[in-house]
Each structure stands twice: as structure tokens, then as C-alpha cells.
Structure 1
Amino acid sequence: MSKFKFTQKNEEEFQRLEKKYPNSDAMMLPGLWLVQEQEGWVSPDAMIYMADRLSKTPIEVHSFATFYTMFNLKPIGTYHIELCKTLSCMIMGAPELKKFIKDTIGIEPGQTSEDGKFHFTEVECQGACGGAPMIALNNTYHENMTIDKLKNIIEECKNEC
């Protein structure tokens, strides 16, 4: 039995989505997205919950969640910085942004800051080549990123908590 449970709002959204998607395979992605939006990651308990809800085995849900890199399989920081690492962003300054994140927050890709505020991930193309380099911060895209812009974003995040 899973300890995870959707909030009332997410339960309503799950039920709405079930009407939209015809079968449990099609429902897996939106269901896991709801889990991650609620918790910030997809825990083993949440996978068991989704397996029960979708008439799947926990290993089927786990296989799905581990196949897609956008699912966090462990807790991450409050602010998730995703830096694009593909060609356009690399040419336009992503390596300098990566170094700035390491020097400022003290974390490498895949790490969470000691205070739990920031998690840093390098990701494949986010579809913003014309606005390279870019980051996503908690799924909000920021194009034409510079060190000064990133410094301001980080400071705003630090001041919010």
C-alpha cells in the first residue's frame, strides 16, 4: 500500500485526464507529471500509487519513469536549473553559465545545493536555439541567458526563501 496520495486538486485533474486518454499506457505520462508537479519528484511510493491507479505493476511504472529523463527519481532542490547543453547553447555561452553555477552555488550537474534550494541539470535541446543560451528554472524558460541575468535570477531565488 502506498503512502502517496494526490491532493484534491490533482485527483480532480487525474480524473479529467483519464477521460481524455483512452488507456493506462497513454495515461502514464500525464499521471507521472501530476505526481512530479505535486511532490517535485517521483518517489517509489508514488510509483506504487500510479501502478494501482493504472492497473500496472510497479516495475512497469518504474521502467517508464526511468526511461524519460524529465522525471526526477530523487528529491531535488526547490529551484531546478536546467541548462541546455546542445550545440547552439554551447556556442553561445552555456559553458560559462555552467562555470558560473558551479562557482556561485557550488554544484555540478546532477547535484543539489547543501541548503536544498538549488538543483542543477544539464539537458538536451529545449527548442530555443534562436534564443541560445537558455535555461529553464522550474519549467520557466529564460532565453538569451547571460551571467548577469543568471546572477539576478539566482539572487531572486535566494531572497524568496
Structure 2
Amino acid sequence: MTEQFEFTTNKEQTDHEAVSINGDTSVFGEDVRADAKQIIARYPESRSALLPMLHLVQSVQGCVSAEGIQFCAEQLALSTAEVSAVATFYTMYKRRPCGQHLVSVCTNTMCAALGGDEIYRKVGEHLGVGHDETAGTPGEEGSITLEHAECLAACDLAPVLQVNYEYYDNQTPEQALELVKALQRGEKPAPTRGPALSDFRGAERQLAGFFDDLESTVAGTSAAVETVRGAQLANERGWTAPSMPDDVEMPPLPEKK
């Protein structure tokens, strides 16, 4: 069962401010601290571990809380201001507790032209929420946080959406709505490509670099037919790119300061 937290906020709080959960860093127990040490050990400089550390925090709390920022600062010998500066720069770090699933609908040019805006509208109407809002109690089964995404790097498969960063390609508004309803029922429909669907916190643990079930993580189709069609045509027709001449002078590398 997913652990639930009481969280506090106020009307003046902005999207750049972290909510407070539990009031201290005790939620990050010995197992989490051991994971943090593993992450830090991957890098020659401890501060370089900040991005995966923030994902680790989200795998525990479902967002980057004020306590999560404090935890990262303590582990990496950084100030909370330095951690907050990074956490507020990237949209993948959530400032409020996320639902069991994060649904990201691409509304950039290609997807929007092919129905992405309509998908976002219908899903939002069904859930009764807007961008970066959660239907249901954050963390509970069937709860969903909705967001519109500027680009999901899958224009050849538009319109697309992601659930916990896994792809669902060539969607229609009806298909997207059925997908969301299945998530609310506690089901986990298979993504178009990639591994079996996890929940948001499970995906965050993987982004922190921990693959507790590596075999299932690497299972599934890794590329869509549309994505590799160009390479297949080039191979069939004998097309190749010109090789790089051996006598090309490379620019000097800058001196390390």
C-alpha cells in the first residue's frame, strides 16, 4: 500500500515553492539514505548527483517537498537555495504531490494539429482538472495528475501522450479517454512501446537509477515502425552518408579551469 502524507500549503504559495510534508526529513529512512549513498558514489563530485537525487526524493514522496530539498542539500553539502534553483528549473520535478499516475499530453505543433488539443480537453473535462492538477487524492490508487507537454519527441507518431513517461502513440480522443478511465480503475494498460507501465513513484525510482526488475524494464518494443522506417529504406536502397575525411583538423579542446 502506498504511504500517504498530510501536506500543507497556502494561498500565496506559487508553483516555484515546495510544499511541506511531515515537517522533517525522517521520512527518508535508512534505506533511502543507503540509496542516496549509491547515487553519490557514481560521480566524482557529489553535487553532480543532484538530478537523480531529486528523482529519488520523488520516488518516496511523489514530489520535491521542502523536506526533500533539505535532504538533498544535507547529502550533497549544498545550500537549500542551490537545490531549489535546480528543482524549479525542470518541469519534471513536481512542487506538489503527484497522483499515482502522471498523464502528459503533447500539445505542441504536430500533436496539436493532429488532435492533441482535443485529447487534452477531453481528458481534462473527464477528470475535472487542468494543467498540473490532480484528480483524486495524491498517491492513492486511481489518482491522476494531468499536464500538457510542449514536446514529447515523437512527432512521427503524433498525437502522443505519456503515462509516467511511457509512450502511448497515435492516440485519438476516444482512446486517450479509455486509457485514463482504465488507470482510474486501477488497471495498467501496456504502453505502445517500452516496458510495462509502473506508477509515478516507480518511474521516479528508475529515473534515479534503480531498476529493481531489470528484465521487465528492458522488455517490450523499443522503437516504432515509423521511427526506424528511414533507416530501413536507406539500408534497402544502399544509401550511406559520406565518411569523414581523415585529415580534418579538429578544433583544440578548451583548457580545464
- Using the size of structure 1 for normalisation, the TM-score is 0.89
Shift of 1:76: 2.1
Larger Rg: 2
Runs of 4+ in 1 over 3 A off after TM superposition: 10-13
Distance 2:85 2:100 in 1: 26
Relative distance call for 1:4 and 1:47 in structure 2 (3 A) is farther
Q: Contact 2:103/2:147 (CA < 8 Å) preserved in 1? A: yes
- Partner in structure 1 of residue 26 of structure 2: 3
Task: Say which SS state the counterpart of residue 141 (structure 1) adopts.
Answer: strand
SS at match of 1:67: coil
Paired position in structure 1 for 2:83: 61
Q: Which residue of 1 aligns with 2:109?
A: 87
SS at 1:112's partner residue? strand
Task: Report sequence identity in percent.
Answer: 25
Alignment check: 8 A CA contact 2:36 2:75 kept: no
Residue number among 97, 105, 116 corresponding to 2:127 in the alignment: 105
Identify unmatched segments of 5+ residues in structure 2: 1-23, 188-257
- C-alpha RMSD over aligned residues: 1.9
Which residue among 29, 38, 51 is the counterpart of 1:29? Answer: 51
Alignment size in residue pairs: 160
1:9-158 equivalences in 2 (<5 Å): 10-116=32-138, 117-158=143-184
Report the more deviating stretch, 116-125 or 48-57. Answer: 116-125
Partners of 2:123 and 2:180 within 8 A in 1: no
Q: 1:65-107, CA deviations, whole angstroms, 9 ceiling, x for partnerless residues?
A: 0011110011122221111121111111111101111221111
2 CA distance for matches of 1:124 and 1:22?
Answer: 34
The DSSP-based 3-state class of the residue aligned with 1:89 is: helix
Distance 2:62 2:48 in 1: 22
Q: Which has the higher helix share?
A: 1
SS at match of 2:44: coil
Ranges in structure 1 where 5+ consecutive residues have no aligned partner: none
Q: Give the conservation status (yes or no) of the 8 Å contact 1:133–1:145.
A: yes
- Provide, for residues 26-65 of structure 1, a one-character-per-residue CA deviation record: whole Å limited to 9, x for no partner: 1100110111122210100011011000000111111110
| Contact 1:78 1:118 survives alignment (8 Å) | yes
C-alpha contact (below 8 Å) 1:131/1:143 kept by paired residues = yes
Q: Is 2:63–2:96's contact at 8 Å kept on the other side of the alignment?
A: yes
CA distance in structure 2 between the aligned counterparts of 1:114 and 1:158, rounded to whole angstroms: 9
Counterpart residue identity of residue 146, structure 1:
T
CA 1:6–1:31 in structure 2 vs 1: closer, same or farther (change >3 Å)?
farther
